[in-house]
Amino acid sequence: MTADAGATRWHQFKPVIQVASGNFLEMYDFFVFAYYAAAIGRAFFPSHDAFASLMLSLATFGVGFLMRPLGALVLGAYIDHHGRRAGLLLTLGLMAVGTVSVAVTPGYATLGIAAPLIVLAGRLMQGFSAGAELGGVSVYLAEIATPGHKGFYVSWQSASQQVAVIVAALLGVALQQELTPAQMDDWGWRLPLLLGCLIIPILFLLRSGLQETAEFATRKKRTASLSDVWRSVAANWPIVLVGAMLVTMTTVSFYLITAYTPTFGKETLKLDAMAALIVTLLVGVSNLFWLPVMGALSDRIGRRPLLIGFTLLALVTAYPVMLWLTAAPSFERLLAVELWLSFIYGSYNGAMVVYLTELMPADVRSAGFSLAYSLATAIFGGFTPAICTWLIHVTDNKAMPGVWLSCAALMGLIAAVLAERVGTAAANSRPEAMGAELSARRAS
C-alpha cells in the first residue's frame, strides 16, 4: 500500500473513531456501574439489609434503561431535525454530566438523602442520552460509509461498546489484585468512574471535529419541527415494532454474555470471581473481532442470510450448550460456551444494526432507530440479568438463560422474515408514495 493510499484510508476511517468514541463512554459507564453495584449501593443506599442496599443500587441502574425510550423520542427527533453532528455533541454532553455526578458525589454518610438523589438524577440523564446515542452513531456511520462498505462501517457502533467491555473488565481484574475488599468498598469503586471523567475532554475534542453527513446536509426535504418527527415515527409504528423485535436478539445476547457473566459465574456456577471477569474480558475481545468481520460479510452476501441463519443457530444451540455448562461447571466450559454465544451475537449484530438503519425512513432514521433499540433494551435486554436469575430461582434449572436467549432468537427470526414486507407496506402507505402511485394511474 502506498503512503497516499494509506492516508486516504485513514481520512475515510477517521470519522468512525471520532463518532464511536462517545459510544464507548456510554457503555463503559453502564458496565462499571453494574460491576460495582454492591459497593455503590453501600455508599449511596446504606441499609441494615445488604440485599435491600444492592437492590436499590440495581434499581437505580435499571432506571437508566427505562429512560432510553424517552431519550430516543426527544433526542432522536432533535438529531433528525437539527443534524447528526449537533445531536451527537448533545448526547455526549449529557452522558458526561451523568458520569461525573456518580463519580464525584460524596456518599450518604456525608450528604445524606441528597447523595442518592444526585446519583439517581445522573443515571436518569445517562439513560436519557443513551436512548439516542446508539441511533445517532449508527445513522452517522451509515451515512458516511463508502460505497459497498456500509455494514463494515456501522458495525463499529457495536465494536466500540466491546472496547468498553474490555477496558472495564481489565480494570476489574487489576483492582481485585491490587486492592483489598475493604478498600474497594471504601473508595476503589470510584477509580474506574474517575477514569471515565478524565477521558471526557478527549472525547469532546474528537467529536467536535465531526462534519455533518453529506446525506443530511443535501437532503431536500427535512422535517419542519420535532413534532413532525414524532408524527412520522408514529405513522411508521410497524417498522419500529419490527425493529424492536430485531434488536431483542442483540440486546438479550449482549447483556447475557457480558453484564450477566460475572454474576452467573460467581453466584450460580460457584466459580472464582476472577475467572468470571477473565471470561468477560475474552468475550469482549471475541465480540470486537466478529462484529466488523460479519458487518463486512453482510456487505457481500446481504443482511438477511446472516439474520436468519444465526437466529436459527441460537434457537438450536443456546439451551443445549447451557445444559452442558451447568452439568459440570468449570472455567474452560464457561469460556467455551460464552465464546460460542459471542460468535452468534457478533455475527447477528454485525448485520442487524446496519439493516435497521436501512429499514427506517430517512426523515426519521435516528428517532425510529433509537426508539426501536431503546424499547428492546428497556423491556428485555437491560433486565436480562434479573430475568435469568429469576428463571433459575423458580425452576431450579441453572440452564434457563439458554431458554431466555432462545425466546429472543425466535423473536429476531420472526422479525427478519417479516421486515422487508413491513418496510415495503409502510413505504407504499406514505403520502409521497401514494401521490406517485396516483400520478402513475392518471398517466395510464
Domains of the chain (ranges; CATH) run 15-205+226-427 (1.20.1250.20)
DSSP 8-state code for residue 187: I
Rounded to whole angstroms, the Cα distance separating 444 from 433 reads 17
| Rg, Å, the chain Cα set | 22
Instruction: Give me the pLDDT at residue 367, please.
Output: 82
Residues 6 or more apart in contact with residue 37 via CB below 8 angstroms: 54, 57, 58, 61
CA angle 380, 385, 387 (to 5 degrees): 60
Q: Would you state the cell numbers that stand for residue 98, as one nine-digit string?
A: 451523568
Instruction: Give me the pLDDT at residue 174, please.
Output: 87
Q: Would you state the cell numbers that stand for residue 67, as one nine-digit string?
A: 429512560
DSSP 8-state code for residue 186: I
Query: Is-contact 243 368, C-beta < 8 A?
Result: yes
Rounded to whole angstroms, the Cα distance separating 269 from 318 reads 17
Rounded to whole angstroms, the Cα distance separating 81 from 74 reads 11
Instruction: Give me the pLDDT at residue 436, please.
Output: 37
The gap between the terminal CA atoms of the chain, to the nearest Å, is 55
Query: Is-contact 280 375, C-beta < 8 A?
Result: no
Instruction: Give me the pLDDT at residue 309, please.
Output: 97
Q: Would you state the cell numbers that stand for residue 54, as one nine-digit string?
A: 444492592
Kindly write down the DSSP assignment for every residue of 274-306, as one continuous string.
Answer: HHHHHHHHHHHHHHHHHHHHHHHHHHHH-HHHH
Residue 149, phi then psi, degrees to nearest 5: -130, 20
- Residue 374: which of 127, 18, 178, 126 has the closest Cα? 127
Rounded to whole angstroms, the Cα distance separating 332 from 336 reads 6
The one-digit pLDDT tens for each residue of the chain (444 residues) are 555 555 556 666 788 888 887 778 877 887 787 777 778 888 888 877 666 776 677 677 677 788 888 888 888 888 887 888 888 888 888 888 888 888 889 988 888 889 888 988 888 888 888 888 888 888 889 888 988 999 999 999 889 888 888 888 888 888 888 888 888 888 888 898 888 888 888 888 888 878 888 777 776 555 546 677 677 777 778 898 999 999 999 999 998 998 788 778 888 898 887 888 889 889 999 999 999 999 999 999 999 999 999 999 999 999 999 999 999 999 999 999 999 999 999 999 999 999 999 988 877 788 888 889 999 988 888 788 888 888 998 999 999 999 999 999 999 999 999 988 887 766 666 554 433 332 333 332
Instruction: Give me the pLDDT at residue 329, please.
Output: 94
Cα–Cα distances (Å) from 381 to 341, 365, 384, in that order, read 15, 22, 5
Rounded to whole angstroms, the Cα distance separating 390 from 392 reads 5
Query: Is-contact 388 162, C-beta < 8 A?
Result: no
Residue 363 host element (H or E) = none
Residues 6 or more apart in contact with residue 304 via CB below 8 angstroms: 351, 355, 416, 419, 420
Q: Is residue 395 exposed (0-12), middle (13-18) or buried (19+ Cβ within 10 Å)?
A: exposed
